[in-house]
Structure 1
Amino acid sequence: MSHGKIREDKTCLNCNHQVEERFCTHCGQENTEPKQVFHYLFTHFIEDFTHYDGQFWKTIKNLLFKPGKLTAIYLEGKRQMYVPPVKLYIFMSFITFFMFSLFPLINLNFDHQESPATVAETKAKNDSIKKVISTQLTEAVNKNTKNLSKNDSILAATINKKIQEGAKEATEPKEEMNFNDGIDESIVISGAKNAREYDSIVAKNPSFGYNLSSPFVHKFFELKESGIPKKEIFQKIYEVSFHNLPKALFIYLPIFAFLLWIFHNKKKWWYFDHGVFTLHYFSFLLFLVTFISILIHTQRLIEHIKFFDTIIDISYYLLGLYSIAYFFIAHRKVYHAHGLVSFIIGTFLLFINFFVFSFLLVGLAMISFLMIH
């Protein structure tokens, strides 16, 4: 509930009608002082969802634990009891992506390198291990080869050499990808090492495939020639993809609703009805993603406590199963389909949406790659 100071003047600033109490009975505006402290901008936004009548909390409770109820009630015309679908989706989007901006799910820190002292200490330890292994193996082989024939002695010596080589390989650090390096200069595309060679090849053999891939190949060679580190490339792809993800989800909303429209009775169910179902389902998914992100960051903090780590791992699987079951339950409750029919349609819809949304994510990654500069 708002805590703004009530104006002494009882004339509504919005419609000029007389205000008897706190709210104008003509337009509904609250008769508070127009100038407020700065934090009022944020508290007022939160109060719009969590005001005294508990509309927001009732909405969240039903959204999470009663699949399909919000949609069914809204389509029946009861629209004052809960937060409207569009408003709910926008709020959940804000919370989700605000959380991601503060605490990214993917850690792209490739800058970690061991100090020279640590490297030297590790090398000395490995040398010591190799020396001990080599000495012990040599003594063991010599001890057991005194009474062997010449051929057996040669075989034992060969085995001893192979074992020592294996010990050396096991104790030497493996070469890992250096994300501070640029793109490998030896990489070629369609026989071309640079954009000029690629354009020459395309000119000799023009095709739709070449025209489609040309922007991506040119961007690849541009990054290769500029020597941008792999770390920076991955970082920029992640940043641009994250920036465009809300737009991609917003674009996908009408696609999801359209797929629902295709598989249901057009006379009984309008596209509007499917849109309401989609907004509620996507709001639930956004809430679930936000909760999972909290679990991930919690797990990073307590990863040394095995019991809680196991509990959180199990929670991921349970939440994943619930997100799938949620759709089937909501679908049956809203569309009143027979159990088997609802299951078949729901399975088909999830299957199609998985591939369509995957295609959208791939397209988002490709666009993000082209936007690197």
Structure 2
Amino acid sequence: MSAQRYCDNCNSVLHGEFCHHCGQEKKSYIRNVSGVVTEFFGEFSNWDTRLWRTLIPLWFRPGFLSRRYVSGHRVPYVPPLRLYLFTSIIAFLIFAKLMPQQAIEVSAVASDPELIVLETKDGADITLAELLKQTQTELQQVPGLPNNSAVPIYINDEHSQHTLALPFISEQAQQRLNERFAAVVANPKLAVNKFFSLAPQMMFLLLPLFALLLKLLYVRSDRYYMEHLIVALHSHSFILQFSVLYLALGLLRQSISWSWLATVVGWLETAVLCWIPLYLLLCQKFYYRQRWGKTLLKFWLTSSVYNLLFISAVIGLIVLSILWA
């Protein structure tokens, strides 16, 4: 007959490995080095198995992980919050390394954007007016984004050689922004590093807003807010992972000298880009299980509002990166 065991915390009689009174596990963390190393590799192997069991359906089965988690099947998979935090940290570190470091120098200063010529490292010249026009065109191509959602940003030489004028901030803030912008022009890497250090926090703040948007659109589904938050965590983990893949494929295609192989990589790049919005649409369809008409309408509303929030947050983050660089 085995001796009676007691909880080390509250001294209650144990009927298993966990105390029924305080919940503490009957386990000693004071042990020799070999025991710690053995436990570490055991936990790492178990986490690695759960990771791949999570990533495959995350990539190719929209809404599957969210349905499984909500229905109670949680042990075989990495928890959604842990998965997102791990993905966010790794993704933004990779973004900072993979983003092309293309310096832009102003070779002429004038208040007319047609007279400001921007020269890149590869020797290409482009006027500021052309650059702004291209940016506006790209923003208008974002699905569901209103045509007038772009915030006007322009170069001004009234007070300094390098100033950035924003119409929605105060005069004092504008002066401080101009000072910081001049420093950033001299060393753009400072603002880039600050942007990618703040970007994970920005994305984490957008998560509950995305879940709240789903809650409002599916208010008649009688789902709790946490159920929508699970969808948001899985969706954002997928978006970050495939954004890294898309950027990596683009850089790989540019570095390949064989045209046929570059073409194949380009097809994969296009497929990844198309799969991201299609995945999000199928995720809403398979998770909420409504008719296609309602799903398409709610997906359009979700993407429109969220894209507007995202672009506004990015613009604000750029300004903060300049101010805090």
CA offset digits 1:127-180 (Å, max 9, x no partner): xxxxxxxxxxxxxxxxxxxxxxxxxxxxxxxxxxxxxxxxxxxxxxx994699x
Counterpart CA distance in 1 for 2:313 and 2:47 is 41
Amino acid of the structure 2 residue aligned with 1:230: V
Which structure has the larger Rg? 1
Q: CA deviation at 1:73?
A: 1.2
Residues 273-293 of structure 1: CA deviation (Å, up to 9, x unaligned) = 110100011111122123234
Q: What residue in structure 2 maps to residue 95 of structure 1?
A: 90
How far apart, in 2, do the equivalents of 1:338 and 1:356 lie? 27
Correspondence for 1:249: 203
Look up the match of 1:325.
278
Contact persistence 1:56–1:83 (CA under 8 A): yes
Gap runs ≥5 in structure 1: 1-9, 18-22, 112-173, 180-186, 196-208
Residue 219 of structure 1 corresponds to: 177
The TM-score normalised by the length of structure 1 is 0.60
Q: CA RMSD in A?
A: 4.0
User: Quick one: structure 1 residues 307 and 178, their matched pair in 2 at CA, closer, same or farther if it must change by over 3 Å?
Assistant: closer
Shift of 1:223: 5.0
Question: Is the 2:59–2:238 contact (alpha carbons within 8 Å) kept by the matching residues of 1?
Answer: yes
Which residue pairs with 1:298 in the alignment? 252
The alignment status of 1:107 with 2:107, answered yes or no, reads no
Question: Cα gap change, 1:97/1:28 in structure 2, threshold over 3 Å: closer, same or farther?
Answer: farther
Give, in whole Å, the separation in 2 of the partners of 1:52 and 1:85: 14
Residue 337, structure 1, aligned to residue 303, structure 2: no
Is there any run of 5+ residues in structure 2 with no aligned partner, and where? 106-116, 123-154, 162-166
Select the structure that is richer in strand: 2
- After TM superposition, the structure 1 stretch with the greater mean CA deviation from structure 2, 259-268 or 63-72, is 259-268
Does the Cα contact within 8 Å between 2:104 and 2:118 map onto a contact in 1?
no
1:170-209 map, 5 Å = 176=119, 188=156, 192-193=158-159
What is the rounded CA distance, in whole Å, between the counterparts of 1:250 and 1:257 in structure 2? 12
Which residue of the partner structure matches residue 65 of structure 1? Answer: 60
CA distance in structure 2 between the partners assigned to 1:346 and 1:210 by the alignment: 31
Supply the AA of the counterpart residue of 1:218. R
2:133 aligned partner: none
Residue 55 of structure 1 deviates from its aligned partner by 2.1
Which of 230, 236, 239 matches 1:276?
Answer: 230
Residue 268 of structure 2 is aligned to residue 315 of structure 1: yes
2:253 is paired with a residue whose SS is: helix
How far apart in 2 are the matches of 1:289 and 1:29?
44
1:328 Cα deviation after fit? 1.2
Superposed displacement of residue 72, structure 1 = 0.8
Specify which of 69, 76, 83 is matched with residue 81 of structure 1.
Answer: 76
> One-letter code of the match for 2:202?
A
SS at match of 2:219: coil
Count of aligned pairs: 268
Work out the CA distance in 1 between the residues paired with 2:83 and 2:184: 41
Q: TM-score, normalised by structure 2?
A: 0.68
Contact 2:83 2:237 in 1 (8 A): yes
Q: Decide whether aligned partners of structure 1 residues 262 and 212 sit closer, same or farther in structure 2, where only a CA change above 3 A counts.
A: farther
- Per-residue CA deviation, residues 21-53 of structure 1 (Å, 9 max, x unaligned), is xx957666776764549x969x94x86564179
8 A Cα contact 1:50 1:56, kept in partner: no
